[in-house]
Structure formats: structure tokens, C-alpha cells
Amino acid sequence: MSSSRSPRPAERSTFGQLPPSRWPGERLGLPNEGQNSVARAGRRIGGIAVDWAIAMGISLFLAPYESLAYSFYTIGLFALLQLLAIPTLGGSIGHRLFGMRLIGLDGQKPALWRVLVRTVLLVIVIPALVWDSDQRGFHDKVAGTVLIRA
């Protein structure tokens, strides 16, 4: 009889074979709820809606609403607001209004290059719609960041 046995699913450690986490952020060492827990979908959607509304409002002063220029101004201003607010405020204006902040996986403020990568991917939109079990969008996974409750 062989003493080797195949590992149970919970013992596997290869990519894609991790056991399910009990709550979003467990694998990142974050609490289930309260301060420093992963920000849930409602807060995230509210925050991005506020940020987008601010960019749209400012764009109205720069171009007519139905013009192509208005669309480009809105996207550009949205990105600019992300790039300015996250490093200085710890999150975008919408993040802060909904009680969130952005951190790196090390728990510190994310480096500027991480904020830039995250913002570029967020503007593309699709990566933000693809989430993992920790409720981190692809843009956060690539940038090595996580949006938590403040």
C-alpha cells in the first residue's frame, strides 16, 4: 500500500484550486465586516456614480451635452479626478463619500503607478465588471489594490 494520497480540495495550493473563502477579503487577511473590510458592491456602485456625475457636470461647461467632445471630456475628467484624488485623499470623491478608501495589498497607500494602471483599466470599463471571490475587479487585481471600508 502506498502512503501517498491525493490532497483533498482544501489542501490544494495550485492556482485556481483554492478552497472557497468564507467572505470577500478573507484570503487578503481582511475582516468580514466593518472598518477595513472589502467594500461591497452597493458602496462601489454609489462611489463610481458620484465620480461619473462630477465628471459629467464639469464637462457640461466645456462642450455641449450631445457632442462627441462632451463624451471625451467626461472620460478624461473622470480619469483625472481618479488620478488626483486617490493619492491625495486615499480614494476618489465618490469613494470617500461612501466611506471607502483604496489601499495596496500591503495595507499602505498605493504607489502612483498602481493608481495609474487602475485608472486606465477602470476607464476601459470591462475590467471593472469582472470580479473575483474577494469582490475585487480585474482593474484592482492587476494594480495590486483593494477598495476597503474606511
Q: What is the pLDDT of residues 88-124, one digit of tens each?
A: 999 999 999 999 999 998 999 999 999 999 999 999 8
Paired with 101 in beta bridges are 148
Between 120 and 25, where is the model more confident?
A: 120
Cα–Cα distance between 105 and 93 in angstroms, integer?
A: 21
In a domain, 132, yes or no: yes
- Residue 9 DSSP code: G
pLDDT at 10 over 80: no
How many folded domains does the chain comprise?
A: 1
In a domain, 16, yes or no: no
- End-to-end C-alpha distance for the chain, whole angstroms: 55
Instruction: Specify the pTM.
Output: 0.80
At position 79, the amino acid (one-letter code) is A
In a domain, 14, yes or no: no
Domain residues for the domain of 53 are 22-149
Between 28 and 97, where is the model more confident?
A: 97
In a domain, 115, yes or no: yes
- The angle that helices 41-59 and 68-89 make with each other, rounded to 10 degrees, is 130
